[in-house]
């Protein structure tokens, strides 16, 4: 290993001042999720690889190409530490469903409406908007009564609400229905028949997708493949009567909330578990990686992973993509101390230290300058801290039992008494909002 430090490719540090934008965004998201009555769930960031293969589909691109697997440790080093067979989570639906089953959440009355905010990991070729560690906010509504078209509409409305509240404007919702498992099977057979004689017109990778799971051909971004797909008359796919009624209800519920969407019969989503409603949200403010998020219904997954026969619907939005798509002129909140304390000499520092501690004990945000320097230099540091007020203590103040407090906003300055360790006046003044 060279001495030069580096950050793993496709990862980023989120530091000041950007972190405040993240915190603001996350707080707003939590507020909206609370309005819709979703509860937070936190699952491990790694799971058994098998879980992802079983849920997302062994032949999905994510499982085949993008899983970041933990390396096996030589047994003699630590026999207990069996890391092989574990993968960093590429998404969170599988983990939430695993948790729903293991925590017996189905024994609770009614629906489990769960949300998460956290990092996901995919071994991608990094580019703008495509990282190896990225963050998602997502929801999963699972359980008895989850089979309602209104719930499909609710999760779509919730994702729209989140994006709008954060200040996003240019986004589009694409909507489709894959129907029941049986409808999916019919549609897949129809697609196979349509594409069978044109297989050589597809891009090479899509030819193998045709073999593995024909739906994934529809997800292709390759130009040659897209030309073939565009020529297919998919319009009414193969929805059965019941699925058609269900999908009509989802659309009606969305219209009742004035949510605009575009029907896209070629939208299938690349994972095996989707049934019925699927949707994707794209933004024109993003480049080639234009998907802000996606979701849909997965009625068979809980049962397929060994849980009860209950329906489920959810979505995941990419937080980095949301931040990229936000208008750049948005004000970024930043946090700074209310008070900055400076001591002009060693002797005054211990008094300044006591005062800082007293203010903190009274929940007043403050910081102290740890070096002793010229007044000019200290005031420069106080200014840089963006505090609203600065407390100045020097020998002169110490001798007279006072401190100087300067208000940066209006430039006013006053002396207040701290004689006999009586800090009443100081606390009165500093708790008063500017
Ligand atoms: P997906 O599960 O692939 O549909 O991802 C849902 C959302 O997560 C996408 O629409 C993106 O906003 C975001 N996302 C997925 N993969 C990445 C990635 N590699 N880097 C950044 N964001 C991503």
Cα 386 from Cα 55, distance rounded (Å): 50
Beta bridge partners of 113: 141
CA 45 to each of CA 53, 81, 261, 295: distance values in angstroms, whole numbers, following the listed order? 16, 17, 33, 20
pLDDT at site 218: 86
Q: Is 131 in the pocket of ligand 1 (CB under 6 A)?
A: yes
| Residue 321 Cα to ligand 1 middle (Å) | 8
| Residue 147 Cα to ligand 1 middle (Å) | 26
Q: How many CB atoms lie within 10 A of CB 357?
A: 12
pLDDT in tens, the chain (434 residues): 568 999 999 999 999 889 999 999 999 999 999 999 999 999 999 999 999 999 998 888 899 899 999 986 655 556 566 667 999 999 999 999 999 999 999 998 789 999 999 999 999 999 999 999 999 999 999 999 899 999 999 999 999 999 999 999 899 999 999 999 899 888 888 889 988 889 889 888 888 888 888 888 888 888 999 898 888 887 655 799 999 999 999 999 999 999 999 999 889 887 888 999 999 999 998 988 899 999 999 999 999 999 999 999 999 999 999 999 998 877 666 778 999 999 999 999 999 999 999 999 999 999 999 999 999 999 999 999 999 999 999 999 999 999 999 999 899 999 999 999 999 999 998 887 65
Cα 429 from Cα 182, distance rounded (Å): 71
**Residues contacting residue 165 through CB under 8 Å, at least 6 positions apart:** 28, 32
Q: Is 278 in the pocket of ligand 1 (CB under 6 A)?
A: no
What proportions of the chain, in percent to the nearest 5, are helix, strand and coil? 40, 20, 40
**Residue 339 · residue 359 · CB < 8 Å:** yes
pLDDT at site 294: 97
Q: Is 293 in the pocket of ligand 1 (CB under 6 A)?
A: yes
Q: Is 124 in the pocket of ligand 1 (CB under 6 A)?
A: yes
Q: Is 318 in the pocket of ligand 1 (CB under 6 A)?
A: yes
| Residue 122 Cα to ligand 1 middle (Å) | 9
Cα 370 from Cα 202, distance rounded (Å): 66
pLDDT at site 433: 60
| Residue 182 Cα to ligand 1 middle (Å) | 28
- Angle between helix axes 149-166 and 241-256 (nearest 10 degrees) is 40
| Residue 432 Cα to ligand 1 middle (Å) | 46
| Residue 417 Cα to ligand 1 middle (Å) | 58
Which tokens sit at 318?
């990419």
> How does DSSP classify residue 82?
-
| Ligand 1 atom having least distance to the Cα of 317 | 7
Which tokens sit at 403?
């401190």
pLDDT at site 432: 74
pLDDT at site 407: 95
**Ligand 1 mutation pick, 68, 283, 318, max ligand atoms within 8 A of CB:** 318
| Residue 383 Cα to ligand 1 middle (Å) | 41
Q: How many CB atoms lie within 10 A of CB 9?
A: 11
> Nearest Cα to 372, choosing from 392, 356, 358?
392
For the chain, how many residues are written? 434
pLDDT at site 233: 82
| Residue 260 Cα to ligand 1 middle (Å) | 22
- Residue bearing the CA closest to ligand 1, atom 10: 293
| Ligand 1 atom having least distance to the Cα of 136 | 8
- Residue bearing the CA closest to ligand 1, atom 17: 130
């Amino acid at each position: 290993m060279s001495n030069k430090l580096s950050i793993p490719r496709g990862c980023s540090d989120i530091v000041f001042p950007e972190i405040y934008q993240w915190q603001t965004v996350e707080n707003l998201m939590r507020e909206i999720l609370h309005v819709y009555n979703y509860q937070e769930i936190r699952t491990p960031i790694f799971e058994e690889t098998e879980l992802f293969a079983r849920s997302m589909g062994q032949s999905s691109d994510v499982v085949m190409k993008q899983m970041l697997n933990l390396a096996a440790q030589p047994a003699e080093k630590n026999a207990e530490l069996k890391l092989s067979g574990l993968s960093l989570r590429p998404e969170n639906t599988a983990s939430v469903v695993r948790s729903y089953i293991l925590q017996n959440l189905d024994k609770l009355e009614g629906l489990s409406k769960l949300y998460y905010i956290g990092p996901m990991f995919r071994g991608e070729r990094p580019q703008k908007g495509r990282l190896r560690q990225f963050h998602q906010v997502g929801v999963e509504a699972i359980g008895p009564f989850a089979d309602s078209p209104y719930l499909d509409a609710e999760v779509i409305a919730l994702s729209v609400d989140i994006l709008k509240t954060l200040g996003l404007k240019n986004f589009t919702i694409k909507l489709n229905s894959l129907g029941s498992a049986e409808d999916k099977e019919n549609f897949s057979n129809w697609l196979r028949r349509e594409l069978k004689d044109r297989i050589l017109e597809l891009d090479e990778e899509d030819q193998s997708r045709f073999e593995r799971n024909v739906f994934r051909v529809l997800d292709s971004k390759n130009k040659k493949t897209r030309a073939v797909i565009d020529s297919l008359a998919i319009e009414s796919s193969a929805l059965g009567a019941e699925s058609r009624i269900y999908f009509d209800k989802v659309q009606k519920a969305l219209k009742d909330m004035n949510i605009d969407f575009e029907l896209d019969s070629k939208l299938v989503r690349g994972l095996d578990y989707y049934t019925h409603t699927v949707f994707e949200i794209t933004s024109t403010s993003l480049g080639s990686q234009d998907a802000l998020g996606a979701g849909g219904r997965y009625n068979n997954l809980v049962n397929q992973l060994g849980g009860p026969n209950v329906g489920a619907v959810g979505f995941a939005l990419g937080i980095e993509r949301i931040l990229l798509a936000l208008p750049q002129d948005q004000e970024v909140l930043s946090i700074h101390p209310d008070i900055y304390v400076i001591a002009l000499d060693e002797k005054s520092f211990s008094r300044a230290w006591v005062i800082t501690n007293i203010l903190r004990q009274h929940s007043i945000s403050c910081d102290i300058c740890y070096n002793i320097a010229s007044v000019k230099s200290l005031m420069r540091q106080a200014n840089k801290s963006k505090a609203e007020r600065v407390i100045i203590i020097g020998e002169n103040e110490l001798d007279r039992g006072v401190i100087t407090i300067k208000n940066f906003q209006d430039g006013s300055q006053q002396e207040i008494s701290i004689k006999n360790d009586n800090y009443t006046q100081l606390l009165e003044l500093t708790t008063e909002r500017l």
